Amino acid sequence: MAMEETPYHFFKVILASSLQDKKLRIPENFVREFGDELSAFAIITVPDGRDWRVGLSKDGEKIWFHHGWQNFIEFYSIGVGFFLVFKYEKMSKFHVIILNTSNLEMSYPNNFDEPKKEVIDDGEIEKEREMPRKKCKMEKQVEVNTNTAHNGEDEHPTRIKDNESLHKLKALLEDKRIFLSRNYKFSSAEEKERLFTLAKSLKPRNPSFIIMLRPSHLYSRVVYLPAKFTNKYLTQDIKLIKLRAYKGREWPVQIGWMYGGCNTMQGWNEFLNDTKLKAGDICVFELIRTEDLLLEVSVFNKS
């Protein structure tokens, strides 16, 4: 009886350089052993059941997880110091376990009611398509066909309507110098209604941004600040900000700069724990002071 082949494992520590490059290099030893059987895309399966289709880029003997990798990083709020353990299952299929900076496996988001989508950042155009949950055939290129119907029903009018609503929401907010993340998507009709109601009522005196808390924000020390806000109102010499909420208490939070924006680092977990924020809560961050930078945080609970 033939012996069962042992799966190949490797690990990667997430460094600031890989976050800045928006790609992750696969170890040389792995490439020497299996590089010839890798296709143009890899399927990465996470313990939460999601499958991520990530493009592989090659330069000689070097191979990286590349196209789509940034979406994976942002979805799970993976930051510097995280530890990823990969198990290779052949045919360009990988399983991955994500460990946080405490060397504990993260609590993965479990909001399966949301459609699984891969957002492809294509310059000024953002395209989206449903992400596969099971095995799929490898296409040579990614195309978005707006005329395709799924299961006999055309879902695109709803998607187009959501995109139009999102553009209206962002225009309404930015008229008041309030910013949303470029890649933000509505997760439900209820969330859309809440944000429009809030947008109409907000009257901040200073530039602001909104974060809709997702499960991944609560299980990690990282949340990404909207690039439009950071590029316009912050400078890259800023390494520490203060968050003020609840009767004037302040929390110092370190920030790290990368790929045209910044994210929270040390101190974010303390803020979350102390304020008892939950998934679905909306936080409005208003820039109160630019020297010794201070952001006033207003919380609008989901309940």
CATH number (domain holding residue 188) = 2.40.330.10
Q: How far is CA 47 from the centre of its chain?
A: 17
- In a domain, residue 49? The reply is yes
What is the residue-averaged pLDDT of the chain?
79
- In a domain, residue 106? The reply is yes
Cα Rg of the chain (Å, integer): 21
- In a domain, residue 172? The reply is yes
- In a domain, residue 164? The reply is yes
Indicate if 77 and 176 belong to the same structural domain: no
pLDDT for the residue numbered 285: 96
Indicate if 19 and 100 belong to the same structural domain: yes
Indicate if 118 and 210 belong to the same structural domain: no
pLDDT for the residue numbered 219: 65
> What is the reported pTM?
0.52
- In a domain, residue 133? The reply is no
pLDDT digits (tens, 9 = 90+) for 171-229: 999 999 999 987 788 888 888 899 999 999 999 999 999 999 887 777 666 788 888 89
Give residue 110's pLDDT band: very low, low, confident or very high (50, 70, 90): low
- Structural domain range at position 35: 8-122
Indicate if 232 and 289 belong to the same structural domain: yes
Joined together, the tokens standing for residue 52 give 């991520």
Indicate if 112 and 201 belong to the same structural domain: no
Listed residue (15, 8, 5, 3) closest to 92, CA to CA: 8
* CB environment 204-232: b (16+ within 10 A), e (fewer): beebbbbbbbbbbbbbbbbbbbbbbbbee
221 vs 139, residue with greater confidence? 221
- The amino acid present at 294, given as its one-letter code, is L
CA dist list (Å): 147 to 56, 137, 152? 28, 21, 12
Query: Dihedral of CA 160/166/172/177: which sign?
Result: negative
pLDDT for the residue numbered 262: 78
Domain ends where: 122, 149, 179? 122
Give residue 107's pLDDT band: very low, low, confident or very high (50, 70, 90): confident
pLDDT for the residue numbered 267: 86
Q: What share of the chain is helix, strand, coil (3-state, %, to 5)?
A: 25, 30, 45
- In a domain, residue 3? The reply is no
Domain ends where: 100, 122, 144? 122
Indicate if 169 and 272 belong to the same structural domain: yes
257 vs 227, residue with greater confidence? 227
pLDDT for the residue numbered 282: 94
Count how many domains the chain has: 2
Question: Strands 51-59, 93-99: parallel, antiparallel or unpaired by DSSP?
Answer: unpaired
Indicate if 109 and 184 belong to the same structural domain: no
- In a domain, residue 32? The reply is yes
pLDDT digits (tens, 9 = 90+) for 37-46: 898 889 999 9
Q: How many CA atoms lie within 13 A of 159 on its CB side?
A: 18
pLDDT for the residue numbered 108: 85
- In a domain, residue 143? The reply is no
Indicate if 117 and 166 belong to the same structural domain: no
Indicate if 16 and 104 belong to the same structural domain: yes
Residues constituting the chain: 303
Indicate if 164 and 291 belong to the same structural domain: yes
Looking at the DSSP assignment, which residues form a beta bridge with residue 99? 83, 105
pLDDT for the residue numbered 258: 64
Indicate if 103 and 169 belong to the same structural domain: no
pLDDT digits (tens, 9 = 90+) for 125-138: 233 333 433 333 33
Low-confidence winner among 9-23, 60-74, 81-95, 96-110 (lowest mean pLDDT): 96-110
pLDDT for the residue numbered 297: 96
153: pLDDT strictly greater than 70 = no
Indicate if 43 and 88 belong to the same structural domain: yes
112: pLDDT strictly greater than 50 = no
Domain ends where: 69, 95, 122? 122
